[in-house]
Structure 1
Amino acid sequence: MKTEKALEVLDRMRLPNGAYTASLSEDYRFVWIRDIVYTVLPFIQSPSEHYEKAYHALFDLFKAYEWKIDIHRFQPPIYLFEYIHSRYSTDLKEMHVEWGHAQNDAIGAFLWGVGEGYRSGQRVIRDEKDLEIVQKLVDYLECLQYWQAKDNGMWEENMELHASSIGACVAGLHAVKILVNVKEELIRKGEETLRFLLPRESETKDTDLALLSLIYPYRVVDRKTALKIIGNVSNKLERKHGVIRYEHDQYYNQGSEAEWCFGLPWLGLCYLEVGQVNQAIHYIEKTANIIPENWEVPELYIGGANVPNGNTPLAWSVSLAYIFMERMGKVNTKKAIT
């Protein structure tokens, strides 16, 4: 399958300021911090203007709301609007709509993308001010006591202690400790909570699609835990057109849980991370089946309706599908099968 069209789709979603809109649909024509981190993953391995300018846009966003970060480096937020917002307009302004902004994983994801990008030769850090923002975000996570802080999680829903959020923060802190001051205790406390929580996602969810992030791209769990997570997600959540986020999910549920398209290539990428190439091969066809000819991969298939929803294309879906198909194109599948 030709993958060039995927990058063309992502280019159409790239904004003049360097950030990306989550989708071209009216409902999702906004900027999410987390979505950008995942959207630019195809460009992380070698210096890329797309990667660098996306992070420069996010740095500029954080600078615009630095006053808020400064407050909550010392005083934990109480109300949702006090948290660093997770969603913005395309000109990177806060949306004055009530939202589940307590998303610690988004801050962890940004820090991870900065640190990993820097290691890969990306010019994500422009000056001392950018480094100052990184330090302040580390301080923000410390003030939150992220390792025991309930948040809205990756899916922006009920406030719980989420393993996926804690893992993102652990990954982010690890990634930037070469750039700024990160107390080892901050990382250790997060790792201890993960050992207590995993392989569960939270008190109410024994497994969740978000847990795959701890394997790819963050790589913060050991092989034994990774295999448990992959097995639980595959056995309990995988469906024909994608992966449901968790059991009894009500988002776009018309009789059954919505099937998220990026879940299939994400599972494939996780199998590659743990060296199970034979398992990953099974996801080539599964992923190809959710990629249309124009590469406008949907967010999800509506549960019970067997049709995509309107958030098409979803940048994150296009990105993960592209990465997986590219990586599998380089694998000697015949040798792997034998």
Structure 2
Amino acid sequence: MKSMVKMSSKLKQKVKKLKKEVKRKELKLKKKKSKSKLQPVNYQQLIKHHLKILKNLQYKSGLFAASRKEVETGYDKAWLRDNFYTCLAFEVIGDWDTVESTYEAILKIFEKHEYKIDYAIQKKPEHPFQYIHPRYHPETFDEFWEEWGNKQNDSIGAILFKVGELVKLGRRILKTERDYKLIQKLVDYLKTLEYWHDPDSGMWEEDEEIHASSVGACVAGLEMVKDNIPQIDVPEWLISNGKRILRDMLPRESRSKFVDLALLSLIYPYNVVNPKERDEILTNIEYHLLKKRGVIRYKNDHYYNKNPDGYSEEAEWTFGLSWLAIIYQKLGKKGKAEKYLKKALATVTEIGEPELYFSNSPKFNENVPLSWAESMLIVALYYVNKKIVG
């Protein structure tokens, strides 16, 4: 009996010792987890990784392809708009050589097709092919002639906006008298179009309507040029007409779309909305369009729609998450910015950020990496974490 009591006592001591060891290990693990929370990710390394992916999409001409050069979806081509958004990543890190080489190439595109711009200034285009095209061969700068929703006024507004901003920042982007003449012709082109009530295919290259995002891009571009390039004549009425229509349309995107992902461009990068309009746009997008792996472009979007009916399961665009992160960081709402950045990072694949995910699915489409999405992710990473990349 005494022997059993003795053994029981030893057993108790062993159990007690074991409990202490388990507790010690748990405490050590807890401290380790706590430490990892303080240093979750090397954001500088992440930014460099995605910049490398992005640089691989650039041609020697300076233009960026929309996606991989070997992709079979047509995304090996260069879009004016996509190059505008792609360069945002290089701007935030201060890689001005890359930015300037891209915009030099864009000016060469306009120079090559100057005859077409001249014709459109003299007489408003009647057919889409007569408009300045949105996409080009990235090496020869030739147009692609097939119909592709070629009326895209927002892309011209975007280029004017960035050229004006680059001049404002002291970058020598306009080097010759011809460069200045080309920018003047783009202004005159928008004047002839009467862009404020000219139906175009907009950011998504689809049905022709008057799009708030297109009108806003033109307003922002004209205003930036007027304020920073005195050699260019931009009549005040040309801007005010656009502002008036924009005020009347918002927070809608168009007659058929009460909410649209494209409206985020009016907040960032263009900043052409007042606080009330901004808040309405954000509320509508987060309530109606936000999904797990991205933001749908608009209700009943048929592009890569998963449902046989082509409407009810819209694709989720990844860059919408980064876009929201950027905007909320700029508004000083760091918590929301971090939330959206975390969601954006969760969508990254082994080869980069895809264009979109199918509705409620881990399956993404072929356009990966998408240059626009990679750029927006880099900008979000940079702004939210304020990391300088050497």
TM range (shorter): over 0.9
The match for 1:320 is: 376
| Alignment pair present for 1:218 and 2:262 | no
Provide the C-alpha distance between the structure 2 equivalents of 1:304 and 1:233, rounded to a whole number of angstroms. Answer: 18
The match for 1:71 is: 119
Deviations 1:227-279 (A, max 9, x none): 11111111110101100000000000012101001000101112223332232
Contact 1:299 1:309 in 2 (8 A): yes
> Which amino acid is 2:179 matched to?
D
> Which amino acid is 1:290 matched to?
T
| Alignment pair present for 1:19 and 2:63 | yes
Distance apart, 1:47 and its partner CA:
6.2
Provide the C-alpha distance between the structure 2 equivalents of 1:305 and 1:276, rounded to a whole number of angstroms. Answer: 29
Unaligned segments of structure 2, at least 5 residues: 1-42, 308-312
Provide the C-alpha distance between the structure 1 equivalents of 2:173 and 2:57, rounded to a whole number of angstroms. Answer: 20
1:80 to 125, 128, 143: 128
2:290 to 235, 238, 241: 238
The match for 2:198 is: 149
Equivalent positions of 1:170-319 (< 5 A) are 170-177=219-226, 178-179=228-229, 180-255=232-307, 256-294=313-351, 296-303=352-359, 305-319=361-375
Provide the C-alpha distance between the structure 2 equivalents of 1:274 and 1:141, rounded to a whole number of angstroms. Answer: 31
The match for 2:172 is: 123
Distance apart, 1:44 and its partner CA:
2.4
| Alignment pair present for 1:61 and 2:109 | yes
Provide the C-alpha distance between the structure 2 equivalents of 1:242 and 1:100, rounded to a whole number of angstroms. Answer: 24
| Alignment pair present for 1:30 and 2:74 | no
1:51 to 99, 107, 114: 99
Contact 2:187 2:234 in 1 (8 A): yes
Provide the C-alpha distance between the structure 1 equivalents of 2:330 and 2:247, rounded to a whole number of angstroms. Answer: 20
Contact 2:326 2:384 in 1 (8 A): no
Provide the C-alpha distance between the structure 2 equivalents of 1:132 and 1:172, rounded to a whole number of angstroms. Answer: 16
Distance apart, 1:302 and its partner CA:
2.0
Provide the C-alpha distance between the structure 2 equivalents of 1:261 and 1:190, rounded to a whole number of angstroms. Answer: 30
The match for 1:7 is: 51
> Which amino acid is 2:112 matched to?
A
Provide the C-alpha distance between the structure 2 equivalents of 1:110 and 1:48, rounded to a whole number of angstroms. Answer: 16
Provide the C-alpha distance between the structure 2 equivalents of 1:36 and 1:293, rounded to a whole number of angstroms. Answer: 23
Distance apart, 1:87 and its partner CA:
1.2
Distance apart, 1:283 and its partner CA:
1.0
> Which amino acid is 2:382 matched to?
E
Provide the C-alpha distance between the structure 2 equivalents of 1:122 and 1:320, rounded to a whole number of angstroms. Answer: 22
Provide the C-alpha distance between the structure 1 equivalents of 2:95 and 2:218, rounded to a whole number of angstroms. Answer: 24
Contact 1:254 1:305 in 2 (8 A): no
Distance apart, 1:293 and its partner CA:
4.7
Distance apart, 1:77 and its partner CA:
0.8
Give the secondary structure class of the aligned counterpart of 2:61. Answer: coil
Provide the C-alpha distance between the structure 2 equivalents of 1:279 and 1:47, rounded to a whole number of angstroms. Answer: 28
Provide the C-alpha distance between the structure 1 equivalents of 2:172 and 2:364, rounded to a whole number of angstroms. Answer: 37
Give the secondary structure class of the aligned counterpart of 2:115. Answer: helix
Give 4+ residue runs of structure 1 displaced > 3 Å after superposition: none
Unaligned segments of structure 1, at least 5 residues: 332-338
> Which amino acid is 2:280 matched to?
K
Provide the C-alpha distance between the structure 2 equivalents of 1:14 and 1:67, rounded to a whole number of angstroms. Answer: 27
Provide the C-alpha distance between the structure 2 equivalents of 1:44 and 1:173, rounded to a whole number of angstroms. Answer: 21
Largest Rg, 1 or 2: 2
Equivalent positions of 1:129-168 (< 5 A) are 129-168=178-217
Give the secondary structure class of the aligned counterpart of 1:40. Answer: helix
Contact 1:22 1:29 in 2 (8 A): yes
Provide the C-alpha distance between the structure 1 equivalents of 2:243 and 2:333, rounded to a whole number of angstroms. Answer: 25
The size of the alignment, in residue pairs, is 330
Provide the C-alpha distance between the structure 1 equivalents of 2:359 and 2:143, rounded to a whole number of angstroms. Answer: 31
Flag the structure with higher helix content.
2
Identity over aligned pairs, percent:
43
Provide the C-alpha distance between the structure 1 equivalents of 2:124 and 2:236, rounded to a whole number of angstroms. Answer: 21
Provide the C-alpha distance between the structure 2 equivalents of 1:17 and 1:113, rounded to a whole number of angstroms. Answer: 19
Instruction: Judge which range, 115-124 or 246-255, deviates more.
Output: 115-124
Give the secondary structure class of the aligned counterpart of 2:101. Answer: helix
Deviations 1:182-214 (A, max 9, x none): 001111010000100000000000010000000
Contact 1:287 1:321 in 2 (8 A): yes
Deviations 1:281-333 (A, max 9, x none): 21121111012355x100001235431100010000000001001111129xx
Distance apart, 1:105 and its partner CA:
0.2
Provide the C-alpha distance between the structure 1 equivalents of 2:123 and 2:332, rounded to a whole number of angstroms. Answer: 44
